[in-house]
Amino acid sequence: MKSQSHSRRQLLIGFCAAGVVAPLLAQARPDPWATSPWRKLKDADWRARLPAASYAVLRSEATETPFTSPLNHEHRKGVFACRGCGLPLFQSTWKFDSGTGWPSFFDAIPGALGKKADFAIVVERTEYHCARCLGHQGHVFDDGPRPTGLRYCNNGVALTFTPT
């Protein structure tokens, strides 16, 4: 048994080393960014289309200073969208005051966000970004209100608001 387990492990290592596993995984999970027209935008294009603070957050994963966004005080009915590409991300009815200083939401429009693990502060967090242009929005935590229990903690400079 021990040698059989050992040989399976060697076989798996061999497949990985030969580059067999990674292409199979790539086929199983297509990269939406690969076909996005937003991919064609160069850094200079992003800098030209965005205010400096928005560029820093959306393209470099910076964080705006808490309690500085006018969107913290936005209470009208409407839609919050990605400042980078205009994709609708949140309904205003999902916004709540988390006390953190950033606009917070307990739900997101289905398919509007992508997520990834973030270890920037050593502790693992879940970063989320616009599914269309991959612009960084913020982090999601599991300490939000019902019905989801989630708190999408968003940088206000990464959003626009359109009243309805």
Query: Which residues are designated catalytic?
Result: 153
- Which residues in 84-106 are b (16+ Cβ under 10 Å) and which e? bbebebbbbebbeebeeebbbbb
CA 10 – CA 135 distance, rounded (Å): 40
97 and 153 Cβ atoms separated by less than 8 Å: no
C-alpha distance from residue 133 to each of 46, 73, 136 (Å):
11, 26, 9
Using left for φ > 0, alpha for ψ between -120 and 50, and beta otherwise, residue 124 falls in beta
